Amino acid sequence: MATTEESIQQDLRRNPMAPAIPELTPHQELALLARMLWREGYDDHLSGHITYRDDDGTLLANPFGLPWDEIRASDVMRIDLDARPLEGQWTVTPAITLHTELHKARHDIRWAVHNHPVWGTIWCNVQRVPPIYDQTSAELIDEIALHDEFTGPVQDVANAKGCVEAMGDKPVALLANHGVFVVAESVAKVYHRASTLEWRCRNAFRTETLGGGVELKPDIARAFGELFDTPVAFPGLWEAMVRRELRLDPSVLD
């Protein structure tokens, strides 16, 4: 019997949802992901990092000196698991320790995103996991970890390891008074999780600002969220956002 992912892909081949996107390299996917998430509110100036674990164990990472809406594929750096630069013309942030410790501990993870997005950081500051008030928020049905035991900056190895240990095998973590950490096995999945997290944080804040709200019933939220709990995540979403970025600035692939 075909898996859910295989069934979805077969359906898409028989009846395409939209024009196909070009075949992309991991460098290009990382640059596109940075641009997409910048539009979602992952925009704390030069802060934040994205990594991709390649088959040889090295990591691709965004450079430190470029904001996420400026990154192109040729700007992407390659580093080893000790954060030593192997390829690329720019500088990698010292805070990449959070990612190197993650990839050392979790070999199942391909993609990792850390930033201080507008709405997600609010919930990090109050040290609460945002409730699910709407169906789109329920697309992120995975359990969200909360880490609140920092003893210094995240680039400190002990603190980075603490974040990774607190995250466990969960795909999303709120780092108290800091920012969010999102991981996945595919670029489409990490984009879906990161963008849905910011949506959920924004809608929960606005709902509670009105004096409270009625949370989605847990069984309904779970049933809805499980529709998206596949490697494909939200079929067609990644491709649609790629086409948007390419219409706005095709040089992102350069």
Contact status, residue 33 vs residue 187, Cβ threshold 8 Å = yes
Measured CA to CA in angstroms, residue 245 lies from 66, 236, 252 at distances of 17, 14, 8
pLDDT at residue number 156: 82
Separation of alpha carbons 192 and 200, rounded Å: 12
pLDDT digits (tens, 9 = 90+) for 95-105: 999 999 999 99
Sheet strands side by side (includes 59-61): 85-87, 77-79, 59-61, 49-53, 111-115, 179-184, 172-175, 144-147
Task: Say which residues have a Cβ less than 8 Å from residue 237's Cβ, sequence separation at least 6.
Answer: 188, 191, 192
CATH homologous superfamily for the domain 22-245: Class II aldolase/adducin N-terminal domain (3.40.225.10)
For the chain, the domains span 22-245
Measured CA to CA in angstroms, residue 102 lies from 45, 50, 90 at distances of 23, 12, 23
Instruction: Give the phi and the psi of residue 95 in degrees, each rounded to 5.
Output: -75, 5
Say what the pTM is.
0.92
Gyration radius of the chain's alpha carbons: 18
Separation of alpha carbons 188 and 167, rounded Å: 21
pLDDT digits (tens, 9 = 90+) for 52-80: 999 999 999 999 999 999 999 999 999 99
pLDDT higher than threshold 60 for residue 146: yes
